[in-house]
Structure 1
Amino acid sequence: MQLSKAIIASLKKDLVRSVPSAAQLELPEKVLQFGTGVLLRGLPDYFIDKANKQQIFNGRVVVVKSTDASGADAFEAQNGLYTICVRGLEDGRQVNEYIVNSAISRVLSAKNQWQQILEVAQSPQLEVIISNTTEMGIVMSEDKITDQPPASFPGKLLAVLYERFKAFNGTKKSGLVIIPTELIIDNGRQLKDIVLKLAAQNELEAAFISWLNDANHFCSSLVDRIVPGKLAGADLEQTQQQLGYTDELMIMSEVFRLWAIEAPDPRVAEVLSFAKTDPGVVIAPDIEKFRELKLRLLNGTHTLSCALAYLCGFETVKAAMADTDFDAFVTKLSKTELARAVAGTNISYEEACKFADAVIERFKNPFLDHKWLSISFAYTSKMLMRNVPLIKKYYGSGEGGASSAMALGFAAYLLFMKSDQEGAGYMGSANGKAYMINDDKAAVLSQKWKAAANPAAVVTAVLADMGLWNEDLNQVPGFAAAVTQQLQFLTQSSAKAALLNIIKE
């Protein structure tokens, strides 16, 4: 049988931890969501469903989809219900639980049901708009609000807001909380700027512009949760057999969840009452701290661990973290070094270490097959953005040395980038296996290796390249010497030996 509200009462309550009541399936529609993707269903919709089950938010989500899938619509067939398989580690305990999410009331097609979407805009129950339309979704266009529908997401949003303005005669209480989750910095501010430009381009009246500015809250936000999506074939079949029903919308997510929402006005917290039900929702006047923690301690640890893990022979993150020695390396890197460099005026060392502990636990998730080669995509630009600022701070403070995990991580990156051109691409080799380097700087690094007489010369040439780092990293006190020592160790011995040498310090 297929998941739908008709079978809710017959679900195996011993297996499905969280099941909606009949009343929750009739809650008013308070959210308009642009996007049907797994991130939205696994994070914002997860929080809304959790709050509804605690009778706190008491509102459901109308989803707008921009594409039309062929055949029967699974959302309609399943009454918007879907299963979230939450899998991972939390406080050292393995989690594997199933939740039937009832946050979504219906899904409307922007192409075929635009008038119905505009009717949602006229609803007095509507309070929130959420989006995830990819980074390319928040862009300026030539959209007209009279288009059916406007092509871009900002164009659609402007049309919805204008419809609401007209329906409620521009009253302040009819304003909405608008939260984009696209992965761009200051996404709320950028979205608002584009909507205002589109309003001017469409020659909309001054009263609407004032309402747009004064009555609505465009909140920048940061999302952090790995939601791989649909289960793999055998896993899906086994899970559905165990649960006793089929589910075309079933998704998996890790345990960790964070939705940081920037909102100086206390009115926003009143509207987003679902934040009360889970510490993973944070509403704060400034969310830069959370962006910094994620960028430096999650992404940065990935980047400085990636090459070393692959050179050691580990294909996936979980395989590397199952190794006691590599676990010790990641712990030293993230808590002893990166956390110290992150700590400052707005982030305490204790906060950084707490976040690092969560990162380490996420890396150990036995249910995720996160490949190091995937993480190595655009390796050089990631190293520049995520790690160079911390390298400069750590070594500039005098704490960095030859035995730093940072130095080994950077040296391993250099060795990983040693390659030969094959056709239009560049191939590296480790442990007798060739691998493709997906980095726009691959040719530059390859040439540095070919032109250098020894590892020390490679380090000097790479660190001096302004095109890679926008500065000469040889000027960072002690860093070049430390990386040189680690690269010599890597080339003369092995990645595993270099790893053991570091963690013994």
Structure 2
Amino acid sequence: MTQPLSRSTFPDLPSYPERMIQFGEGNFMRAFVDWQLQQMNNKGLFQGSAVLVQPLGQGLGEMLAEQDYLYTVLLNGILNGETVSDREIMTSVSRLVNPYTDYDTFLALAENDELEFITSNTTEAGIAYHPGDKLDDAPQKSFPGKLTALLYKRFQLGKKGFIIIPCELIDRNGEKLREIVLQYAAEWQLGDEFTAWLERENTFCCSLVDRIVPGYPRDKAEALAEELGYRDNLMVTAEPFLFWVIEGPAWLADKLPLSQAGLNVVVTEDMTPYRERKVHLLNGPHTAMVSLGLLAGLETVEDVMNDGVFSAFVKELIDEELIPMLDLPREELQFFAEAVQERFKNPFIRHELTSIYLNSISKFKTRLLPVLLRYRRERGELPKLMTLSFAALLLGYRGDKLQRQDSPEVLAVFDEAWKNPQSFIQVILQNAGLWGEDLSSVPGLAEELEAGLRKLDELGSRSALQQSLEGGIACKD
């Protein structure tokens, strides 16, 4: 029987001083930020580790402690035409602090002068204001509330501020986090001097992250234990491709020498073009394929790309509906799109459609809806594939064909609207809380969605999609 991964199993593994506070201990951050710290450490460029802060009451703290905060990242896939299969034990995490059980230790992080970076991934809903949070809570419910309390403690100690780089998948994440911290500072009456210190001593950066991280390889765990020679309950699989765009001052590239370590990281004054390219050409096709694919019985992104009808859908969606609506050179977009489709076909990564399906309404709103509306404005018609994907999304949220994964509030809205199928489309499109605006006035949208719902119900996802692919141009008025 293989031994569990621990420092007693591997006594010669290095340890590093804590230089980063990381809110979030999930698969993505451990295979993205912490993996990059490891690469810098391997080249002697950073010589630091991350102390993790558990953002929710339940987390991986005990499991990480059992393995002495060691875990394995498994990179599997094709990068630049070469097959990559890499296994590496991460030594870039020092410990985990749970503010729900040890709030004093959390606040004590403010005392460490060597800590200079803060990163986070607390889910897409993590950067949000919670009106009940107070300074004397132990802890505050929200991530920005906890961060404000930590920063205030740092200020009280008369120490320097932090470089703060959130990784949550929301637009302008650093700006939004800063706004909420300043809101708490004012609400908690922490004083003008603290506000001035926040602005002067801390650098809030917006960032864009890109790496597919399916997570724990459950179906291969036993075989991997034999291959590795140890048992790792926290190993995480990821594709070899990585891209991180950080919008911040030029000096940050030297302070955090990621690119010097050979990592695909860009520090820029304006991340907007990179964000639009990634959100609409990688995340967009993911969201477009997921409901249609699940309704057709497909399980993974690779299944989609190996299916003739669905792979044709992805290619036509990208080439004819997404790329023409983006304000970057077409050649550059086409090159990026081809790389994306290569990543989608990765035979070494099992990227479950059900994991992409989580919170699909907010994802559609961010990733596809802006493109759909621009297409309608500029071309006077609706993009046929995106519109059918929208219909499949709404059908999935009826709840009788797919297992919905969304907030109780969103599901309650759909349950109420579906009580009257005849008025469902009109009611749901009018809900600005879901879409950010009233969509019922978009010409032709309600009619095309109703037609799409009927087609999907009568023909099934595959036949409906095939009919749309063969039907030529987009849905006219």
> How high is the TM-score relative to the length of structure 2?
0.79
Who is 2:288 aligned against?
304
Counterpart CA distance in 1 for 2:101 and 2:362 is 41
Q: Deviations over 1:265-321 (max 9, x none)?
A: 223333222243244332222222233223211232234334554565534321121
Who is 1:4 aligned against?
6
Change (3 A) 1:307 1:39: closer
Quick check: 2:295–2:402 contact (8 Å CA) kept in 1? Answer: no
The aligned runs of 1:18-97 (5 Å cut-off) are 22=13, 25-65=14-54, 73-97=62-86
Who is 2:335 aligned against?
354
Counterpart CA distance in 2 for 1:199 and 1:251 is 38
Who is 2:384 aligned against?
407
Change (3 A) 1:497 1:248: closer
1:197 maps onto 2:186 in alignment: no
Q: Secondary structure at the match of 2:231?
A: coil
Quick check: 2:392–2:456 contact (8 Å CA) kept in 1? Answer: no
Who is 1:178 aligned against?
164
Q: Deviations over 1:305-351 (max 9, x none)?
A: 34554565534321121134532332232134311211x2xx22233
Quick check: 1:411–1:487 contact (8 Å CA) kept in 2? Answer: no
The aligned runs of 1:254-403 (5 Å cut-off) are 254-263=239-248, 265-306=249-290, 308-310=292-294, 314-342=298-326, 344=327, 347-372=328-353, 375=356, 382-383=363-364, 385-394=366-375, 397-398=378-379
Q: CA deviation at 1:395?
A: 5.5
The equivalent position to 2:212 in structure 1, one of 223, 226, 237, is 226
Counterpart CA distance in 2 for 1:385 and 1:435 is 22
Letter of the 1:193 counterpart: E
Change (3 A) 1:290 1:311: same
Counterpart CA distance in 2 for 1:37 and 1:209 is 31
Q: CA deviation at 1:427?
A: 5.8
Counterpart CA distance in 2 for 1:62 and 1:88 is 29
Quick check: 1:31–1:60 contact (8 Å CA) kept in 2? Answer: yes
Counterpart CA distance in 2 for 1:239 and 1:296 is 35
Change (3 A) 1:443 1:195: closer
Q: CA deviation at 1:244?
A: 0.3
Give the structure with higher Rg (CA): 1
Q: Secondary structure at the match of 1:474?
A: coil
Quick check: 1:27–1:58 contact (8 Å CA) kept in 2? Answer: yes
Q: Deviations over 1:107-164 (max 9, x none)?
A: 2232444444444322222210112233245424555545554454333323332333
Quick check: 2:250–2:267 contact (8 Å CA) kept in 1? Answer: no
Quick check: 2:64–2:70 contact (8 Å CA) kept in 1? Answer: yes
Structure 1 window deviating more from structure 2 (29-38 vs 250-259): it is 250-259
The aligned runs of 1:345-494 (5 Å cut-off) are 347-372=328-353, 375=356, 382-383=363-364, 385-394=366-375, 397-398=378-379, 406-411=383-388, 413-414=390-391, 426=398, 434-435=401-402, 440-441=413-414, 470=439, 472-474=441-443, 494=463
Q: Secondary structure at the match of 2:443?
A: helix
Quick check: 1:311–1:416 contact (8 Å CA) kept in 2? Answer: no
Q: Deviations over 1:52-72 (max 9, x none)?
A: 111112211112225677999
Quick check: 2:18–2:115 contact (8 Å CA) kept in 1? Answer: yes
Quick check: 1:426–1:436 contact (8 Å CA) kept in 2? Answer: no
Quick check: 1:380–1:441 contact (8 Å CA) kept in 2? Answer: no
Counterpart CA distance in 2 for 1:161 and 1:496 is 52
Letter of the 1:191 counterpart: L
Counterpart CA distance in 2 for 1:472 and 1:436 is 30
Structure 1 gaps, min length 5: 10-20, 420-424, 429-433, 452-457
Who is 1:247 aligned against?
232
Who is 1:163 aligned against?
153
Change (3 A) 1:92 1:271: same
Cα root mean square deviation, aligned = 4.1
Q: Secondary structure at the match of 1:266?
A: coil
Quick check: 1:222–1:291 contact (8 Å CA) kept in 2? Answer: yes
Quick check: 2:238–2:349 contact (8 Å CA) kept in 1? Answer: no
Change (3 A) 1:474 1:491: farther
Q: Deviations over 1:25-74 (max 9, x none)?
A: 23321111222222211111111111111111221111222567799934
1:210 maps onto 2:196 in alignment: yes
Q: Deviations over 1:386-424 (max 9, x none)?
A: 3343234446555979xxxx41442365377569xxxxx
Change (3 A) 1:277 1:348: farther
Q: CA deviation at 1:102?
A: 0.9
Q: CA deviation at 1:104?
A: 0.6
Letter of the 1:269 counterpart: A
Q: Secondary structure at the match of 2:74?
A: strand
Change (3 A) 1:288 1:316: same
Quick check: 2:139–2:146 contact (8 Å CA) kept in 1? Answer: yes
Q: CA deviation at 1:364?
A: 1.5
Q: CA deviation at 1:218?
A: 1.3
Q: CA deviation at 1:207?
A: 2.8
Q: Secondary structure at the match of 1:8?
A: coil
Q: CA deviation at 1:370?
A: 4.2
Quick check: 1:490–1:498 contact (8 Å CA) kept in 2? Answer: no
Counterpart CA distance in 1 for 2:185 and 2:34 is 30
Quick check: 2:19–2:50 contact (8 Å CA) kept in 1? Answer: yes
Letter of the 1:8 counterpart: F
Counterpart CA distance in 2 for 1:386 and 1:340 is 15
Q: Secondary structure at the match of 1:221?
A: strand
Counterpart CA distance in 2 for 1:357 and 1:442 is 39
Who is 1:12 aligned against?
none
Quick check: 2:392–2:453 contact (8 Å CA) kept in 1? Answer: no
Quick check: 2:54–2:61 contact (8 Å CA) kept in 1? Answer: no
Task: Give the length in aligned residue pairs.
Answer: 458
Structure 1 window deviating more from structure 2 (295-304 vs 210-219): it is 295-304
Counterpart CA distance in 2 for 1:466 and 1:147 is 38
Counterpart CA distance in 1 for 2:456 and 2:420 is 22
Change (3 A) 1:278 1:309: same
Q: Secondary structure at the match of 1:213?
A: helix
Quick check: 2:41–2:47 contact (8 Å CA) kept in 1? Answer: yes
